[in-house]
């Protein structure tokens, strides 16, 4: 009788774990498909910020600064200062050309077949 009771307790515990996992999965799905305006805006903003962080990583700034947030922030403040002076239009156009050229080179490198095989 005690063995059966112990087995039932273990089985109940496992069933509760499965139920908790299923509930968390359903709640996560509901969060991903929530269409309330503020939720959609927050999700879009989060995606935008992640993409900007990817650009910082792609530019090699994380490695150059040894992932020092203060250095990264200072560099970005310097860029913002340069972009807000009297030559802002020229500087922004130069940066845009460089960025487009880098994106194009990366895209063409992705299209080329690899030499591995």
Measure CA of the first residue to CA of the last residue in the chain; give whole Å. Answer: 65
Q: How many domains does the chain have?
A: 2
Asked if residue 17 belongs to a domain, the reply is: yes
Asked if residue 49 belongs to a domain, the reply is: no
Secondary-structure breakdown of the chain: helix, strand, coil percentages, each rounded to the nearest 5: 80, 0, 20
Asked if residue 14 belongs to a domain, the reply is: yes
Asked if residue 52 belongs to a domain, the reply is: no
Q: Pseudo-torsion of CA 35, 51, 80, 70, nearest 10°? A: 110
Asked if residue 61 belongs to a domain, the reply is: no
pTM: 0.62
Question: Is the confidence at residue 117, as pLDDT, over 70?
Answer: no
**Tell me, what's the pLDDT at 33?**
84
Question: Could you tell me the pLDDT band of residue 116, with boundaries at 50, 70 and 90?
Answer: low
Asked if residue 98 belongs to a domain, the reply is: yes
**Tell me, what's the pLDDT at 110?**
86
Query: pLDDT tens across 41-95, in order?
Result: 999 999 999 999 999 999 999 999 999 999 999 999 999 999 999 889 999 999 9
Query: pLDDT tens across 16-38, in order?
Result: 999 999 999 999 988 888 888 88
The pair of three-digit structure tokens given for residue 30, joined into one six-digit string: 């509901």
Asked if residue 60 belongs to a domain, the reply is: no
**Tell me, what's the pLDDT at 112?**
75
Asked if residue 18 belongs to a domain, the reply is: yes
Give me the domain span that covers residue 86: 66-109
Widest CA span in the chain: 87
């Amino acid at each position: 009788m005690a063995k059966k009771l112990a087995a039932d307790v273990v089985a109940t515990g496992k069933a509760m774990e499965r139920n908790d996992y299923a509930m968390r999965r359903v709640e996560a799905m509901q969060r991903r498909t929530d269409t309330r305006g503020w939720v959609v805006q927050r999700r879009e903003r989060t995606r935008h910020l992640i993409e900007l962080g990817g650009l910082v990583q792609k530019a090699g700034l994380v490695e150059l600064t040894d992932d020092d947030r203060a250095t990264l922030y200072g560099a970005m403040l310097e860029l913002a200062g340069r972009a807000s002076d009297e030559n802002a239009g020229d500087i922004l156009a130069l940066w845009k050309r460089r960025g487009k050229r880098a994106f194009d080179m990366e895209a063409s490198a992705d299209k080329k077949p690899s030499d591995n095989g």
